[in-house]
Amino acid sequence: MATQGGHGTARRQMTGLRGLERRTKVGACILAVLVLVALFAPVIAPHNPEAISGNLVLGAPDAAHPFGSDALGRDVLSRVMFAFRVSLAVAAGSVVLALIIGTAIGLTAGYFGGWVDTLLMRPIEMLLALPALLLAVSLIAIVGPGSLVATLAIAIIYLPIIARVVRGSALVVSAQPYVEAARARGSSHPATMLRHVLPNAAPPALVQASVLMGFALQIEAALSFLGLGAQPPTSSLGLMLSDGRDVLSQAPWVEVFPGLAIAVTVLAFNLFGDGLRGRLDPGRATR
């Protein structure tokens, strides 16, 4: 007999808890591999990324050069590995910086509340009013291009997000009785913040940070692509993408693989972060 449909057909069941965990695990695995590649690139890269070779110019991928070779005969795989180091370093550096500064601001704002909160968070929120890349581009316009500037610029873009998340948790945690109790026991403000509020307010920020890593990587690539990030001779993935356009029709692999590297890395971060966030607080839209 036909089971009564109705309410059931309005929405199918979602993948259960197992699906979420799987996502995080897969992401974590890929990330582990990527991080190892980045860390040990000098050791595991098959060739010297700067080694120019006349007869290997624009060689198609083969056993010796799995990613092919570029206009100067350089091995693309090795170049990708080293460029990946740079891109990852910028992304990681910016997120860590955003995490540190954003947490400090958010923690203080959430802990003290009142006018301190307003004073700190208003300018932070104004930063959020501008589109991310535009802000980065503006900052670099002022200071001049380079990896370091890019790191700083990206950190500035993302610290408001971290600050907001931390502030939210800090507000809630600071209102808890055990925090009051700590103060009553004579714990100073900084000590209370660090020992009691921070450990409880931090986790959502860390989850957010893992997702932001992916975005930071993309922005770094975009900035380098525009010539505003890593400057030659340092090579980042974005820069490789810009260079690869010149030989696109003759040797597409020079363009394909750096982009693929970015895509896979961002994918891994997204999987990892999404899965974590699902655990922590389901139903929140990302940036």
Partner 1 sequence: MNARLRFTSLRIALTVPVLLLMSVFVFMMIHLVPGDPVRTMLGFRATPANVRQVTSSLGLDKPLPQQYLDWLGSALHGDLGQDYISHESLTHLLAQSLPVTLELTLVSMTLAVLVGIPLGVQAATGRRWVRRLTEGFVVAGISIPDFWLGIMLVLLFTGTLGLLPPSGYVPFTQDPALNLRYMLLPVVTLAVAETAYILRTTRGAMEEVLDRPFITYLQAKGVRRFTLMFRHALRNASVPIATVIGIQFGVLLGGAIVVETLFALPGVGRLVVTAINQRNYPVVQAGVLAIAALFLLVNLITDLVIGLLDPRVADGAGQ
Partner 2 sequence: MSAPLLELQDFSVAYRTQHQPVSAVSGVSLAVNEREIVGLVGESGCGKSTLSLAIMGLLPTATRISGSITFAGRDLSMLNEEETRQLRGDRISMIFQDPMTSLDPTFSIGSQVAEVITAHRRVSAAAAQSRAIDLLREVGIPDPAARYYDPPHRFSGGMRQRVVIAAALANEPALLLADEPTTALDVTIQAQILTLLRDLRGRHETAIMLITHDLGVVAQTCDRVGVMYAGQLVETASVGELFSAPRHPYTQALLAALPTTEHSPGSLRVIDGRVPDLTDPPDGCRFAPRCPHAMPECRAVPPLAADTDGHQVACWLDPLTRAAAGGTGSSGAGDSPPLGAEHE
**Residues near partner 2, by CB under 8 A:** 1-9, 13
Residue 266 touches partner 1, criterion: CB under 8 A: yes
How many Cβ atoms from other residues are within 10 Å of residue 250's Cβ? 10
Tell me the residue type at 155.
A
Q: Which residue type occupies 239? A: L
Phi, psi angle pair for 50, to nearest 5°: -95, -5
**Is 255 an interacting residue with respect to partner 1 (CB under 8 A)?**
yes
Specify the stretch interacting with partner 1 by CB under 8 A; choose among 64-72, 73-81, 108-116, 136-144. Answer: 136-144
Contact between 121 and partner 1 by CB under 8 A: the answer reads no
| 137 contact choice in partner 2, partner 1, none (CB below 5 to 8 Å, kind-dependent) | partner 1
CA of residue 156 relative to chain centroid, distance: 13
Site string for partner 1, 157-196 (x = CB under 8 A): ----------------------------------------
Q: Binds 4, which of partner 2, partner 1, none (CB < 5 to 8 A, cut-off by type)?
A: partner 2
Determine if 141 is a binding residue for partner 1 (CB under 8 A): yes
In whole angstroms, how far apart are CA 90 and each of 11, 40, 219? 42, 17, 10
Shortest reach from residue 26's CB to partner 2, in Å:
24
Print burial letters for 56-69: b (CB count within 10 Å at least 16), e (below 16): bbebebeeebebbb
Could you tell me which stretch among 33-41, 53-61, 168-176, 256-264 binds partner 1 (CB under 8 A)?
256-264
| Near partner 1 by CB under 8 A: residue from 14, 43, 63, 184 | 14
* Shortest distance in whole angstroms from residue 63 CB to partner 1: 24
Contact set for partner 1, span 229-248 (CB under 8 A): 241, 244-245, 248
Query: Could you say which of partner 1, partner 2, none residue 101 binds, taking C-beta under 5 to 8 angstroms by partner kind?
Result: none
Residue from 64, 116, 252, 281 in contact with partner 1 (CB under 8 A): 252
Residue 150 interacts, among partner 1, partner 2, none and using kind-specific CB cut-offs from 5 to 8 Å, with: none
Rg (CA), the chain: 23
Q: How far is the CB of 17 from partner 2 (least distance, A)?
A: 10
Sort 6 into a burial class: Cβ within 10 Å, 0-12 / 13-18 / 19+: exposed
Q: Are 26 and 270 in contact (CB under 8 A)?
A: no
Q: Which of residues 3 and 249 has its CB atom nearest to partner 2 in the complex?
A: 3
Q: Which two tokens stand for residue 252?
A: 């597409």
DSSP state of 147: H
User: Distance between CA 73 and CA 135 in Å, rounded?
Assistant: 37
Instruction: Compute the distance between CA of residue 92 and CA of residue 183 in angstroms, rounded to an integer.
Output: 35
* 278 vs 45: CA distance, rounded Å: 36
Interface with partner 1, residue 143, by CB under 8 A = yes
**Cβ count near 284 (within 10 Å):** 10
Q: 268: which 2 tokens?
A: 């891994």
Binding residues for partner 1 (CB under 8 A) = 6-7, 9-12, 14, 126, 129-134, 137-138, 140-143, 145, 214, 218, 221-222, 225-228, 241, 244-245, 248-249, 252, 255-256, 258-259, 262-264, 266-267, 270-271, 283, 285, 287
